[in-house]
Each structure stands twice: as structure tokens, then as C-alpha cells.
Structure 1
Amino acid sequence: MVEVKFYDSIDDKLLKFAVIISKTNGKWIFCKHRERDTYEVPGGHRESGEDILSIAKRELMEETGAIDFTIKPILSREKQE
């Protein structure tokens, strides 16, 4: 079984990949995985020198072809208060 943990904040350097949960025109975005017979949300691994937002933007563009979009990171509870 996989355990999922949620954190209020985390050092960007500790993040190894980005997962992008996104919508366009009210519809969720999924991509067909090229090596499996599954549909998944866009995402991918960090490349040298990238911060997490750069990873998310690059992966969304590479996997969906999107060129005009805004990424709004989910804020931690600390920042929302």
C-alpha cells in the first residue's frame, strides 16, 4: 500500500518531481501514458537547475502541448491564513 503525506511546507530542493492537477474549459487534463495502457495526470522529474514550478510548467507543455496557461501552486495552510 502507498502512503501519502501532506505537508504545510517543504524545501523545494527535496522535491524530485511535479504532478500537475489541471483543468481547461471545466474538464480535467489526463495524458495517455506511452508505456502503459493508462491515462494519468501530467508530471515528471526534476532536471538539473530546475525549481518545482519550472518542472511543472515544462512537463505540462511537453505532455499536453499547452502554450498559454497559468500555474497556481496549491498554498499551504500557513500561507492561506
Structure 2
Amino acid sequence: MFKINFYKLNTIEDNKLLFAVIMTRFNGQWLYVRHRDRNTWEIPGGHREENENINDTASRELFEETGATKFRLTPICVYSVERDETIDYTESFGQLFYSEVEELDNLLHFEISEIKLFDDIPDNLTYPLIQPFLHKKVLDILKDI
């Protein structure tokens, strides 16, 4: 069972933020990536490296997964995913970002085999119980900006 919680920026201790996820737009469309080991679509993002600032994580992951070379990155919120593992209750935290990409490198880097632009969230998601909530949160925030 999954539960998604949203928190205002800077309300969760920085060292608890384990990953960055970046809802990304390019040429007016949402950019999703496909990992080389999967046939599903996901939001660019990944785990924070040791001693790395979470904003640097977002920038690094955005470049590694999409080839984005020129972009604006906006922190949106902190979120957590609660998993009820029956015996062990776990809650992991990440930071959600929004990015508008102006330029993409033509080469795919690291573990990503394909990037694709969508008008809306794709149907075939890697994390269908999580990603729609992140997508909606970004859309809600963008309406208020």
C-alpha cells in the first residue's frame, strides 16, 4: 500500500531527502524517460549522492536522464512515499522540482534508453501509484504562479 504526503519546502530535515524528481517541460510538452531495463515511462529523477546538495542532485539527474543542457529548475515541495510493509513501516522523502528545458543534448546518457514528449501524463508508467500525484501537484502549483 502506498500513500503520498506533501510538505512545504524546508520543513523536512535536509539529510532525509533521499532523491530528487523533476517534472520537466520541453517545447510545451511533458518530458518522460524510459530506463533501459524497463518498457514504462517515468519522471526524470534519482537518488542523492553522498554529500550532494538536493538542488545539485536535481540538476545532475536532469542532465543524466534527459540530456538537458540549458534549463531552469524550480523547487516545488518535499514529498514522501509511505509503504506499509506489514512488519516495517517506512516513509522515504524526496524533493519535487519543476523544470523548463530550453536545450537538450542529442546523446542519451547513463541508464536511459529513450526520452519522449507527451501532452499529458502517459498511460504506461513505471510508478503508477506515485507519478500521477506528483504530476498533479506540479500542475496545481503552476496554476498559482
Q: TM-score range by the shorter chain?
A: 0.7 to 0.9
Identify the match of residue 50 of structure 2 among 29, 48, 51: 48
Query: Residue deviations 1:5-34, cap 9 Å, x none?
Result: 111222221100111111111100100111
Matched letter for residue 56 of structure 2: S
Return 6-15 or 62-71, whichever deviates more: 6-15
| Greater helix content | 1
Aligned: 1:7 with 2:7: yes
SS of the equivalent of 2:38 reads coil
Identify the match of residue 61 of structure 1 among 48, 60, 63: 63
**Runs of 4 or more off by more than 4 Å in structure 1?**
none
The residue number in structure 2 matching 1:39 is: 41
Identity %: 50
Give structure 2 stretches of 5+ with no counterpart: 79-145
Aligned residues: 77
Larger-Rg structure: 2
Give structure 1 stretches of 5+ with no counterpart: 77-81
Aligned-residue offset at 1:75: 5.5
Higher relative contact order (CA 8 A, sep 6+): 2
